[in-house]
Amino acid sequence: MIMKRKKIGILTQVAILFAISILASGIFTYYTQHMVSVTNVKKQTEMTAEEVAAEVKKCVEEYPAHEWLLRYWYEHSEELDIEYDAEYQTGTRTEEKCRLLRSHCPDLQLLYVTTEEIESLTEEDRKLYAEITYSWLITHVNQIKRSYKIDYLFCVSTDYYYEDQFFIFSAADPGAVRGRNYEEVYTLGTTVKVSESQSEAMRNAQKNYTYLADAGNYVDYYSLLEQIDDRILLIGMTFNLTDLNSVIHSQTAGGTSFAVFYQLFLSVICLALIAYFIIRPLKEVQQDIRTYSQTKNSKETIENLSQIRSSNEIGELAEDVIVLAREIDHYMEQIAAITAEEERISTELALAARIQESMLPNSFPAFPERNEFEIYASMDPAKEVAGDFYDFFFVDEDHLCLVIADVAGKGVPAAMFMTISMILLANMARMGKTPSEILEMANDAISPNNKEEMFVTVWMGILELSTGKLTAANAGHEYPVLMQPGDRFEIIKDRHGFVVGGMEDVKYHNYELQLKPGARLFVYTDGLPEAMNAENTLFGTDRILKVLNQNPDETPEKILGRVTAAVNDFVKDAEQFDDLTMLCIHYKGPKN
C-alpha cells in the first residue's frame, strides 16, 4: 500500500522559506554586529592601554635614575619598607623619610637625582631614596588607574623563560587589600607562576613591544618597559569587559529584533501579493489539469485554460498545457496503433522462439536405444530468439556428428542466419564429408551472397562410436574441453580456422582426438566465459574448469546444470549480455 504524502501548499512553503531566511538573516546580523562591536571595543581598549602604558612609562622615566631604581627594587624587595598608600594619610612615613634624607643630603634634589649621585650616597640613604621614590611612583600609578578605570595595572619582571612574574608595583583603588594572596593587590616582590597564555602574551610583548591578549570577558595587555640585564620589565593591564559585553549584547539584540520585525512585516505583504497574483491563477491551471486527467476532455480543458490571461510564466504554463493536451490526444492515437503493432510483433517473436527451439534437438535422452554414449545440450538466449545453436545427429550407423556454433550478433537477424547455417551444416554433413570439408562447403555457400557481412563461429566434430576417434575442425570457435577417464577436464587448444561466412575460399583443417571409454567432451559458446557480473568481471575459462572438475564423473545433464548454476550465482542480477549454449557428451565405449 502506497502511503500518500502530506501535501504542503506553495504559499506555506514560501512562508517557511521566508521565515528561515529571516531567522538566518537575524542570526547573521546579530553575530556580525556583535563581532564588529566587540572588535571596536577591543580596538578602543588597546588604544586606551597604549595611552596608559605611555603615562606609566613617563612616570617611571621622570626619575633620571629609573634604571637604577628598577634594579634596586628588584634586588632588595625583601629589605625595603614600602608605604603603598601614602597619599591617603597625613604625617606619613614617606614624609618623615624625605625630611631624614634631606637632613643627610641637604643639597640633593630628590626628583632629579642621577645614578652617579645615588651611588655616592651611603647604603642607608640609597635605601631611603628607593623607598621614597617607590611610594611617589605608586601614588601616580594609583591616580592613573582611577582616571582610566582599569581593573588591574601593574609592572612585572620576568626572564627569558616567561614562566613567572615578579611584581615590581601594582596600582590599587582606595581601601584595596594589598598582599601576596590571590585576589589581593600584589606587593613588591610577589612572584606568581603564569599560565601558558600569559607566558605567550609576555613573549609577544617582548618581541613586538606591545601585545593585547583576548581572555574571554577579560583583556590582558602588556607593554615593554625596560630590559635590564637578563630581566624583562613589562607594564601589564587587565580590563574586565563583562559589563561592556553585556551592554553590547543588549543593544545588538535590540537592533536585530527591530530588523527581524521589519522583515516580517514586509514578508507578510509579499506573501499576500504572491497569493493573489501567482497562487490563485496557478491553482486554476492545476484544477484544469486534474479535470483533464479525469475526463480526458481536451476541448473543455483548452477552453478553460484559454481564460487565464496572466502575462507571466503562469500564462505561458497555461499555453504549454494547451499544447500538451493537443499533443496527448495525438500521441494516444499513435500509442494505440503502436501497441497493436507491438502485440503483433511480440506474438510473432514468441512463435519464432518456439520454432527455433523446435529446430534444436531438445528431447533427452536423445538416443535411448544407443548405449555407446550419453549426450545433453542447452541454449539460453539473451533475447527472444538466439544466434547460437547446437546440433547432433547420425551421419551413418557408426558416426555421430556434433556441432556448436555462434552467429555474430543477436536477435532476429542472428536467428535467421543461424537457421540457414544450421541447415547447411546438417545437409553437408550427411554427404559423408570430413568436418573441414563441411566447413569449407558451408563457407563457400554463405560468403558470396553475404551482403550484411554476418558470420558464424563453428566447432564441428564427427565421433566414430566403434573406436572413440573424434575428427574435428574449428572455425574461429571457443576451445573444446576434454576429460579422459580418471583424469581432469582440460582445454584442448586446437587449430582455429577463419569464421564461416567471413570471406570466400577459406581452408579448414581437421584434427583428431582419441576418446577413451568414460571420456567426456564439453563444448560451449563465448556467452559462457564472457558472462559478466555487476563489477564487469568475466566468468572466464578458469572458473569453467573449476566447476567442471568439482565432480567430473557426473552425467552430461548434471554437468551442464552445475555450470549453469555457477554462472547464475556469479552473474546474480546483472543483465545477460550474450546467448549461453553448451553441449556435453559422455563416450561410454563401443556397442556391446
Evaluate if residue 501 carries a pLDDT over 60: yes
CA–CA distance from 256 to each of 22, 243, 260, 261, 265 (Å)? 11, 20, 6, 9, 14
Mean local confidence (pLDDT), 568-574: 88
Give pLDDT tens digits for 79-120. 998 888 776 455 678 888 888 888 899 888 888 899 999 989
Q: What is the mean pLDDT of the chain?
A: 84
Mean local confidence (pLDDT), 543-554: 93
Most confident of 181-190, 441-450, 459-468: 459-468
> Comparing C-alpha atoms, which of 380, 411, 553, 395 is closest to residue 460?
395
3-state SS assignment for residue 489: coil
Q: Give percent of the chain above pLDDT 90.
A: 41
**Helical H runs in 447-575?**
540-548, 556-571
Mean local confidence (pLDDT), 468-491: 95
Report the alpha-carbon distance of residue 560 to residue 374 in Å, rounded. Answer: 13
Which DSSP helix (H) or strand (E) runs through 327?
Answer: helix 313-359
Give pLDDT tens digits for 392-420. 999 999 999 999 999 887 667 777 888 88
Phi, psi of 300 (to 5 degrees): -65, -40
Most confident of 160-169, 447-456, 570-579: 160-169
Evaluate if residue 1 carries a pLDDT over 50: no
Give me the residue label for grid cell 494547451: 322
Q: What pLDDT score does 4 carry?
A: 55
Mean local confidence (pLDDT), 251-271: 77
CA–CA distance from 158 to each of 79, 231, 233, 383 (Å)? 20, 6, 7, 90
Mean local confidence (pLDDT), 365-378: 93
Most confident of 6-15, 235-244, 529-538, 570-579: 529-538
> What would the grid cell of residue 319 be?
499555453
CA–CA distance from 440 to each of 193, 447, 464, 507 (Å)? 104, 10, 21, 6
Mean local confidence (pLDDT), 457-484: 95
| 571 compared with 342, residue with greater pLDDT | 571
Evaluate if residue 557 carries a pLDDT over 90: yes
Least confident of 402-416, 470-484, 496-510: 402-416
Band (pLDDT 50/70/90 cuts) for residue 72 is very high
Mean local confidence (pLDDT), 325-349: 65
> Comparing C-alpha atoms, which of 177, 168, 173 is closest to residue 88?
173
Report the alpha-carbon distance of residue 528 to residue 267 in Å, rounded. Answer: 67
Q: What pLDDT score does 373 carry?
A: 95
Q: What pLDDT score does 26 carry?
A: 77
Q: What pLDDT score does 84 carry?
A: 84
Report the alpha-carbon distance of residue 263 to residue 25 in Å, rounded. Answer: 9
Q: What pLDDT score does 567 carry?
A: 93
Band (pLDDT 50/70/90 cuts) for residue 54 is very high
Q: Give percent of the chain above pLDDT 70.
A: 85
Report the alpha-carbon distance of residue 245 to residue 33 in Å, rounded. Answer: 12
Mean local confidence (pLDDT), 299-323: 69
On whether the CB atoms of residues 400 and 545 are closer than 8 A, the answer is: no
| 46 compared with 344, residue with greater pLDDT | 46
| Burial label, 332 (beta-carbon count in 10 A; 0-12, 13-18, 19+) | exposed
| 309 compared with 583, residue with greater pLDDT | 583
Band (pLDDT 50/70/90 cuts) for residue 2 is very low
> Comparing C-alpha atoms, which of 326, 332, 284, 334 is closest to residue 305?
284
β-pairing, 373-380 vs 388-396, is unpaired
Band (pLDDT 50/70/90 cuts) for residue 592 is low
β-pairing, 218-228 vs 210-215, is antiparallel
